[in-house]
Amino acid sequence: MNSATVFQEQDEINNKLFDFDVTIRELQGIALEAVSARNEATILHSASAPGTYSYHAGLAALRLIFVSKHGWEMTRHNGVEGISNKNLGVVLLFQNVDVACSMKDPCPISSKGSGIAGLVNNPAGYLWSYMEDEDKARENTHVWFYCVSFNDGIVKAELSKPRAIKNGSFGTFDERIFIIQDDDWSDLSVKSDKPDTDDQDFDIQISKKA
């Protein structure tokens, strides 16, 4: 199997993100929101609380960034929560991982269930009914994960597309776009650019597969 195509230089990252109608700064802000939410967990909470808080905050921040952009909508598919764009044939999910932006492929902190595995692996598992009659260009290759890691006080993040889910984890990757690398962390703050929901007025649509 071919290794992933990795985008880690500023120009090539910006070019790839143009297709998603998102900036690197917006994606960096999502990661910082997710990491900040870990602080809500106390010693009284369960051991899994930091990751749980991080996931919910990361998903909310991801949706907040994209839902006001053209063509993007919230999606819930077989218990899988994310954001999607019918025109692009893209589903985007949030994921906490062991380490991002490394020579090693990221691994999800929690095992992936049948809902996500079916969405990524099953070429017949179309999110939108109209896609059933289209070319198989809109198959599992269009499920992307925004992967965020937090280790020893360092945040890293990448936007990546796995080829498959195997045994509850990612298989090999097709593309990996590095969003927060080692050199980026010192330039970022937790209070990063994020939209203010109090000043926004937009319709939130939720796509569900029947």
Between 160 and 210, the more confident residue is: 160
Give 20-35 pLDDT, tens digit per residue: 999 999 999 999 999 9
Give 164-197 pLDDT, tens digit per residue: 898 889 989 999 999 999 867 666 654 444 444 4
Helix, strand, coil percentages, rounded to 5, for the chain? 35, 25, 40
Q: What is the pLDDT of residue 150?
A: 93
Q: Which of 80, 75, 64, 159 is nearest to 118 (CA)?
A: 80
Q: What is the pLDDT of residue 58?
A: 98
- pTM metric for this prediction: 0.82
Give 96-106 pLDDT, tens digit per residue: 999 999 999 99
What are the tokens at 188? Answer: 């970022």
Beta-strand ranges (E) seen in 45-126 are 72-77, 80-85, 90-96
CA 181 from chain centre, in angstroms, equals 16
Domain ranges of the chain: 5-185+204-208
| In the predicted structure, residue 138 carries a pLDDT above the cut 60 | no
